Amino acid sequence: MTSNNLNSGASAKDAPAQAEVVIVGGGPVGMGLAIELGQRGIRTVVVERYPQPQPIPKGQNLTQRTMEHFHFWGAEKALRAARTIPRDYGIGGLTAHGSLLGPYTYDWLQRDLVKPYYHTANERLPQYATEAVLRQRVAELRSVTTIYGWDGLALAQDDDGVTVTIGERHGAEQRVIRAAYAVGSDGSRSVVREQAGITQTKTDHDRVMVLLVFKSHELHRLLARYPGKSYYNVLQPELEGYWKFFGRVDLGTTWFFHAPVPPGTTRDNFDFRAYVQEAVGAPFDVEFEHIGFWDLRFMMADRYRAGRVFVAGDAAHSHPPYGGYGVNSGLEDA
């Protein structure tokens, strides 16, 4: 089947100047919505700034309800094949007090208890793998055109429709697309939300958090005492309710770690190696691949619609990246 996808190396002049729906933001939420529309034959244009999914292992936990969407989108089989942890290894979690190797752990209730109430089982894989599957499914839909490497710049609406101005992320070219409706799934700093005049309510917990992605074979060996586990919470009373969180990206090599850090922490003034080793309770080999920071806060748009413009996903509500709540609730928006 002919693909309608235009990557950053192709000119967006070949994209239609008119559509029924323009979606700004082609992450999981935008692509999920594009599939919903495309399966109904609705002429849709998706504008996505990144030519390739970003290799940060967030949004890993996909609920049973989310997997039901993938089933009806015709993408469940491909998504399960993209899983980065072997099928015969569990994807459950546990909570430890003090450190992962300490004497006190709590094994969470198993999802088997709720399986009879869902059409299909939950899944776990990095968001970049999920996005790759969604992009491929969108490419199969004739009524959907995707433009990669472009940003939404401006938006205006009238009684008859919406005009969206888009521009090359790394260039000066701009295009205008006219549509009956526009959807902003362009993240927590949404241009679409701002241009549509949709206000938001925020709560700030005044906490800086770190996201570490690292490789370690020895950590896999240390945690062999917990077979079938893929994510691990570490509770420490001095953190006053905040926790340290480890997760597997694959089996035996790659990990991610979320935890609070002092204000003003940078990549250069903090000992992250000692920090993860303290949370585990033993020294082990660590090779960092990514060190990033995020603020622990929540945001909710005061409305999801302004005339012919809608917002979805992080543009409508942003959450801390614990448990994949952002991606799962965003797909419900779609």
User: Tens digit of pLDDT per residue, the chain (334 long)?
Assistant: 445 665 443 456 677 899 999 999 999 999 999 999 999 999 999 999 999 999 888 888 899 999 999 999 999 999 999 999 998 898 889 999 999 999 999 987 666 777 788 899 899 999 999 999 999 999 999 999 999 999 999 999 999 999 999 999 999 999 999 999 999 999 999 999 999 999 999 887 678 899 999 999 999 999 999 999 999 999 999 998 888 999 999 998 999 999 999 999 999 999 999 999 999 999 999 999 999 998 877 899 999 999 999 999 999 998 877 666 789 999 999 8
DSSP string, 143-184: TEEEEETEEEEEEEE-SS-EEEEEEETTSS-EEEEEEEEEEE
Contact 180, 164 (CB under 8 A): no
- Whole-number Å distance between alpha carbons of 146 and 52: 12
Return the pLDDT at 201. Answer: 94
Using the 8-state DSSP alphabet, how is residue 119 labeled? S
Q: Which domains does the chain have, with CATH numbers?
A: 5-57+126-199+302-333 (3.50.50.60), 205-297 (3.30.9.10)
- Whole-number Å distance between alpha carbons of 64 and 62: 7
Return the pLDDT at 309. Answer: 99
- Whole-number Å distance between alpha carbons of 221 and 196: 52
Contact 18, 118 (CB under 8 A): no
Nearest to 188 by CA among 294, 65, 70, 73: 294
Nearest to 36 by CA among 6, 12, 70, 8: 70
- Whole-number Å distance between alpha carbons of 308 and 156: 10
Query: Burial level of 177, CB count in 10 A (0-12/13-18/19+)?
Result: buried
Q: Against a cut of 0.85, is the pTM above it?
A: yes
Return the pLDDT at 9. Answer: 36
Return the pLDDT at 11. Answer: 52
Report residue 155: phi and psi, to 5°. -150, 140
Return the pLDDT at 20. Answer: 98
